[in-house]
Amino acid sequence: MRLAVLLLALCASNDARPTHAALRKAFEQNRSSVVLVIGPHREGAGTVVGAGGHVLTSVEYVGLHEAQVRIFGVTLPAAVLAADARLGVSLLKVRPQDGGAVELRAVAVGEVEPQLGEVLVGIRRSPRGELSPVLGKVTRVTQASHVETDLPLPPGSPLFDARARLAGVSVKRLRGGCRVLPLARARALLESGAEAEP
């Protein structure tokens, strides 16, 4: 019900905006891919970006070499494959328990950077671990690595476009919004992390 109210508020005045069904699908289709990353000092959201157990999250939630990932009530160790303090993100590789396979559902990743005014669906994790959608739009696009939105999301939170593809990851909470690293600008990190795998 809450999602429906948010969608109506955003979409009622502009027929060019994504449809109610498209935005609902973006949340429902990807919520099971949002995990909790637990570091030595803080914890927060991460997103499964590879079927082999790769998780993209904020650098705030990882140690130098390791972190933990909790999904469906199970906590698993994870290795830090790559981290970039300037970009604000880290790539993890979840380690299976007892040599078993890690069954994690990866999100579809967008290849186009979010545009000014584009409506995005953020997924926010509550302190109790409940996930909820937050709808907003891109408010600023710069020549630097990041864009800004009016979505009040903590670091590590994923943002999806109307086609349910991962558009970016929040890296810093701002007054009335957040700074986002578009996935198109994180590809070098993802590729270097994959190459660093043992």
Q: Do 180 and 169 reside in the same domain of the chain?
A: yes
Q: Do 137 and 176 reside in the same domain of the chain?
A: yes
Residue 191 domain-assigned (yes or no) = no
Query: Which of 106, 123, 151 is the last residue in one of the domains?
Result: 106
Higher pLDDT among residues 67 and 96, named by residue: 67
The domain that holds 65 is classified in CATH as 2.40.10.10
Q: Which residues contact 198 (CB under 8 A, 6 or more apart)?
A: none
Range of the domain at 128: 2-6+14-31+108-185
User: Are the CB atoms for 147 and 88 separated by under 8 Å?
Assistant: no
Q: What is the mean pLDDT of residues 52-79?
A: 92
Q: Which residues contact 21 (CB under 8 A, 6 or more apart)?
A: none
Q: What is the pLDDT of residues 157-172, one digit of tens each?
A: 999 998 899 999 999 9
Q: Tell me the DSSP string of 146-183.
A: -EEES----TT-EEE-TTS-EEEEEEEEETTEEEEEEG
Mean pLDDT, all residues of the chain: 84
Q: Do 22 and 116 reside in the same domain of the chain?
A: yes
Q: What is the pLDDT of residue 196?
A: 59
Q: What is the pLDDT of residue 120?
A: 93
Q: Do 81 and 145 reside in the same domain of the chain?
A: no
For residue 9, name the pLDDT band (cuts at 50, 70, 90). Answer: very low
Is the pLDDT reported for residue 179 higher than 50?
yes
Residue 193 domain-assigned (yes or no) = no
CA distance 176 to 159: 16
Q: Do 24 and 83 reside in the same domain of the chain?
A: no
Query: Which of 106, 128, 150 is the last residue in one of the domains?
Result: 106
Q: Is 25 left (phi over 0), alpha (psi -120 to 50) or beta?
A: alpha
Q: What is the mean pLDDT of residues 126-136?
A: 87
Residue 79 domain-assigned (yes or no) = yes
Q: Do 48 and 18 reside in the same domain of the chain?
A: no
Residue 90 domain-assigned (yes or no) = yes
Residue 198 domain-assigned (yes or no) = no
Q: What is the mean pLDDT of residues 83-96?
A: 91
Q: Which residue reads 């604000």 in tokens?
A: 88
Q: What is the pLDDT of residue 171?
A: 95
Q: How many independent structural domains does the chain possess?
A: 2
For residue 3, name the pLDDT band (cuts at 50, 70, 90). Answer: very low
Residue 176 domain-assigned (yes or no) = yes
Residue 61 domain-assigned (yes or no) = yes
Q: Measured between alpha carbons, how far is residue 5 from residues 2, 47, 122, 163 in Å?
A: 5, 26, 15, 20
Is the pTM value of this prediction over 0.75? yes
For residue 92, name the pLDDT band (cuts at 50, 70, 90). Answer: very high
Q: What is the mean pLDDT of residues 174-179?
A: 93
Query: Which of 69, 87, 106 is the last residue in one of the domains?
Result: 106
Residue 39's identity, in one-letter code, is G
